[in-house]
Amino acid sequence: MAHDEHEVAAPAPLADLARLGEAAIPSAVRDQATLGAPGGRFVDRVFGSPEFFHLWLAQAVSSLGDWLGFLAILILASRLGASAPGASVGLVMAARIIPGFFLSAGAGVIVDRLDRRQVMVVTMAVRAMVVATLPFVNSVLGLVFASLVLELATLFFSPAKEALVPNVVPAGKLTQANSLGLAAAYGTFPLGAGLFAVLAQVAEWLGSIDALDALRTRQEAVAFYANVVCYVISAVIIYRLDVPPTHVDAAQARRDEGEEEAANLGQVFSEIKEGWHYAFINPVVRSVNIGLACGLIGGGMLVPLGQTFSEEVLGAGPSGYGVFVFALGLGVAGGVIGVSTLQRRLPKVRTFVVSCWGAGAALLLGVSMSSLLPAAICVAVMGVFAGSVYVLGFTLLHENVEDELRGRIFSALYTLVRLCVLLSMALAPILADVFDGLSSSLVDRRIDVGIEIAVPGVRITLWLAGAIMLLAGSLAALSLRSLPEGQEEGV
């Protein structure tokens, strides 16, 4: 966490926070000593503290609700826009993505000024109320509006949750905590999909009860009601957390000393600027942002092009894409478990960079294969490195960002993630078509390097995706050159 004398100084009052030549660990990390070493109880050994166990449980329950709601919204959007279901689904999904580009920075400032636990409770309650209205929505426009409100609530909930984690987890357990968080966020999808299928039978039974006709007991409506229950349970668990808002007290102390003005529009914009400035002057935070953002541009291309690659290059059909998805999920799980197991022996910064390179190299090798099995193995290896990148990236942010800045830093990260995922998914099919035309006209879609290799546009685009992931690792490594020698191992 160092910068040389030529770097731009951080604006007051964050100059002290961003004095990157300090070898000291941020106070937010030092304060974890007050949590005590994990005891012998199961909760302490696995989760680090009872408070994080409850926070994780709330995240797992709300994520289960998220997946139920997501599947139900897709069905509802298709039904409401029966004449153009694809366009309806796309419009609703856009409503869940676009607000983050314009409002997440301001949300981060608010998260840093308020009690984060209360922010999470309020936003969870808002999400529950909005979802409760969805069974009665009768137009795509109404569903779009509801999706916008849901996304606005999420813009506050997600950075508040991430900012709270280091306050309830001992420093030595942060990597494990982020692994558990990833499992709660995505590991609940199979459970949610299975529960959604079960709710179809429940909806059929409820539909036979005339007295419940007013509740519109279709499958998606019952899923929405289950989603509401999940959100309410999550809100109650979060409400019962005992986490003092120390960052609010510190901000109030600065205002009392005259170092910080009361909140106004100008001050909000100043704090947004300070948050983004800090995100790009701290070498570790900068490297994480660059590595995750650029890596997602490359890795995100596999989503829209994976099925095309399976069908056109491997001749494996749609089932081949299913194999890819399974292999990727298996690899990510392996990477998360591996990082959690070896966390005490891993130099986090160096492992983060190497994982970025490893993910890119595995993708390059995988899309160079001509049969399904070796390609799937390479995709699984890519998943191992991708899981490591995610867990270590969030851990490094938790360890290297002061409590008073975390809301803004994670809001900035989520903005970059949204932008890069959207960019990759939008560009990948276009690039595949362009490269396919060039390959057809220049080399008849085949090259001979001792063996004949097919080079359709989809393979060229995925090669580019792997190269971008390698570039992400290189840029992250370059960003870390300003760290003092030897400090990297301690991060």
Mean pLDDT of 93-122: 80
**In the chain, count of helices (H) and strands (E)?**
18, 2
**The tokens 């309410």 sit on which residue?**
232
| Contact assessment for residue 51 and residue 168, using Cβ atoms and an 8 Å cutoff | yes
pLDDT mean over 180-196: 86
**Is 166 in contact with 399 (CB distance < 8 Å)?**
yes
Instruction: Identify the band that residue 484 occupies on the pLDDT scale cut at 50, 70 and 90.
Output: low
According to DSSP, residue 241 is labeled -
The residue among 89 and 224 whose pLDDT is bigger is 224
Helix (H) or strand (E) holding 453: strand 452-454
Residue 31 has pLDDT above 60, yes or no: no
**φ, ψ for residue 112, nearest 5 deg:** -75, -15
Query: Measured between alpha carbons, how far is residue 196 from residues 69, 199, 200, 220 in Å?
Result: 9, 5, 7, 8
Q: If pLDDT is split at 50, 70 and 90, which confidence band does 249 have?
A: low
pLDDT of residue 373: 92
Question: Of 348 and 32, which is predicted with more confidence?
Answer: 348
Higher local confidence (pLDDT), 133 or 403:
133
Q: How many other C-beta atoms are found inside a 10 Å radius of the C-beta of residue 337?
A: 15
pLDDT, tens digit, 9 for 90 and up, residues 363-392: 999 999 989 999 999 999 999 999 899 899
Q: According to the model, what pLDDT value does residue 355 have?
A: 93
Mean pLDDT over all residues of the chain?
Answer: 80
140-168 helix and 174-186 helix, angle to the nearest 10 degrees: 160
Residue 12 has a pLDDT of: 41
Find, among 245, 209, 166, 185, the residue nearest to 61 by Cα: 185
Domains 42-263 and 281-490 share a fold: yes
**Distance set, CA 429 to CA 295, 301, 422, 453, 479 (Å):** 18, 8, 12, 21, 31
Among 169-173, 345-349, 421-425, the least confident range: 421-425
Residues forming beta bridges with residue 453, ordered by sequence position: 447
CATH architecture assigned to 281-490 = Up-down Bundle (1.20)
Element (H, E) at 447: strand 446-448
99-123 mean pLDDT = 82
Which residues, other chains included, contact 39 with Cβ-Cβ below 8 Å and sequence gap of 6+?
45
Dump pLDDT digits (tens) for 388-444.
Answer: 998 999 899 888 888 888 888 888 888 888 788 878 877 888 999 999 899 889 888
Q: Quick one: which of 96, 113, 476, 97 has its CA closest to 272?
A: 113
Q: In 315-405, where does DSSP find H-type helix?
A: 317-342, 348-366, 372-400
**Looking at the whole model, is its pTM more than 0.85?**
no
Question: What pLDDT is attached to residue 196?
Answer: 84
DSSP designation for 173? G
Q: Which helix (H) or strand (E) holds 196?
A: helix 188-207
**Quick one: 42-263 is in which CATH superfamily?**
MFS general substrate transporter like domains (1.20.1250.20)
What is the per-residue pLDDT for 267?
58
Would you list the domain boundaries of the chain? Answer: 42-263, 281-490
Average pLDDT over residues 110-131: 91
Structure tokens at 410: 């994670």
